[in-house]
């Protein structure tokens, strides 16, 4: 039996589920995001980030268009991405940064980012299956192949996902735990049986479990010995912190629990569930934290709130509802939640609600 979202998972576990917002909210806020952040040609603009466009932002918008069942918006976002960031070639990894330089709009950095590439390929696959578009499926297959070729390496006996081709040959090798997207890899594995994404998933879970002691938060960056694939000391101690990279991780793990009931994801979620007590007492959580969860800064960030909403909903839906009603719902205005120019926050709040409510799901779970 397929359970719909984290509400269904809570019911399956015998937990009385607090009611998430209706899907209509997600459709309304998607339309708002299109108005405030997505240009008519399909370009997503990060106003708070200097008016630049990133492959991450394009991938997020494509995924949201799928879950909002908006094929017209998906098409124009994808076409702009293909034309401007991939230079018209589906086999080319998209440039991660685009914007204005010397009065001209152009690619500012051609290097790709693995998380964006995986999410973009997955969004294309979902769109192709949902709307019966074989061209999207082919584009997804091409981008998944490119992503594998450039970013999957063997360190010791372990398959490791690099954050980008620039990380090849590093000593130590730099890895971003928030780029580990097993739910996307599971679906992409069906596209090309020659790419062993299942091995990347298994080795990735093993790496994350070994790299941090039980109960600690995953860091923004891990550094690995190139010969063995085991964790070594970070050259910069700040990279051991759980910050703006890692704040996405609880959503990723919650998706694995909701969609695939993976016990490895559940184990890694443990420290995020412990944060519920701190939030209930203080009603804030740090945007940047030490591995033990204590604050490294004295401010929070709404993107973390959105990611935690999904992480808490499966085990303690009442606290998730309290988080939503206290920190998220009151911040909504006519142009989005809180600062409408903070595209990172707008996306992760939306994704958190979408996973909680069952709007976000892989294709095999679609009713």
Helix intervals (H) in the chain: 5-12, 23-36, 55-67, 71-80, 114-131, 134-151, 182-188, 197-211, 249-260, 263-282, 302-313, 317-323, 343-357
Enumerate the domain spans of the chain. Answer: 23-365
pLDDT at position 366 is 53
pLDDT at position 123 is 99
How many angstroms separate the CA atoms of 189 and 201, rounded?
10
Q: Which residues pair with 161 in a beta bridge?
A: 152
pLDDT at position 18 is 74
- Architecture of the structural domain at 23-365: Alpha/alpha barrel (1.50)
Spell out, as residue ranges, where the chain has pLDDT lower than 50. 1-4, 9-16, 367
How many angstroms separate the CA atoms of 153 and 155, rounded?
6
pLDDT at position 2 is 34
Sign of the Cα torsion 221, 226, 232, 236 reads: negative
Q: Which residues pair with 289 in a beta bridge?
A: 242, 295
pLDDT at position 13 is 46
- Cβ atoms of 250 and 310 within 8 Å: the answer is yes
pLDDT at position 363 is 76
Radius of gyration of the chain from its Cα atoms, rounded to whole angstroms: 19
Q: Which residues pair with 38 in a beta bridge?
A: 44
- Cβ atoms of 339 and 349 within 8 Å: the answer is no
pLDDT at position 284 is 93
pLDDT at position 11 is 42
pLDDT at position 365 is 62
H or E element in which residue 154 lies: strand 152-155
pLDDT at position 15 is 45
pLDDT at position 3 is 35
β-pairing verdict for 97-101 and 53-54:
antiparallel
């Amino acid at each position: 039996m397929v359970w719909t979202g984290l509400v269904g998972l809570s019911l399956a576990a015998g937990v009385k589920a607090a009611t998430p917002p209706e899907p209509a909210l997600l459709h309304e806020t998607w339309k708002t995001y299109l108005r405030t952040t997505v240009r008519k040609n399909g370009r997503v603009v990060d106003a708070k980030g200097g008016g630049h466009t990133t492959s991450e932002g394009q991938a997020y918008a494509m995924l949201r268009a799928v879950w909002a069942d908006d094929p017209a918006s998906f098409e124009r976002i994808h076409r702009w991405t293909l034309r401007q960031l991939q230079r018209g070639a589906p086999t080319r990894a998209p440039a991660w940064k685009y914007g204005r330089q010397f009065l001209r709009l152009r690619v500012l950095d051609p290097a790709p980012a693995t998380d964006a590439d995986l999410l973009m390929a997955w969004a294309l696959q979902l769109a192709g299956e949902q709307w019966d578009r074989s061209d999207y499926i082919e584009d997804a297959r091409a981008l998944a192949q490119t992503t594998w070729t450039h970013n999957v390496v063997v360190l010791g006996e372990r398959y490791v996902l690099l954050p980008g081709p620039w990380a090849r040959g590093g000593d130590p090798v730099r890895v971003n735990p928030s780029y580990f997207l097993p739910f996307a890899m599971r679906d992409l594995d069906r596209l090309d049986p020659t790419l062993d994404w299942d091995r990347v998933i298994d080795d990735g879970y093993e790496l994350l479990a070994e790299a941090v002691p039980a109960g600690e938060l995953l860091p923004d960056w891990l550094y690995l010995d190139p010969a063995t694939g085991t964790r070594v000391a970070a050259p910069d101690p700040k990279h051991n912190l759980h910050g703006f990279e890692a704040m996405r991780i609880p959503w990723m793990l919650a998706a694995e629990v909701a969609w695939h009931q993976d016990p490895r994801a559940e184990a890694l979620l443990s420290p995020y569930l412990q944060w519920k007590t701190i939030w209930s007492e203080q009603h804030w959580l740090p945007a940047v934290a030490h591995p033990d969860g204590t604050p490294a800064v004295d401010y929070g960030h709404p993107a973390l709130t959105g990611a935690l909403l999904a992480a808490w909903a499966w085990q303690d839906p009442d606290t998730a509802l309290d988080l939503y009603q206290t920190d998220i719902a009151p911040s909504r205005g006519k142009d989005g939640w809180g600062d409408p120019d903070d595209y990172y926050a707008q996306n992760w709040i939306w994704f958190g609600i979408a996973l909680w409510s069952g709007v976000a799901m892989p294709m095999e779970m679609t009713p």
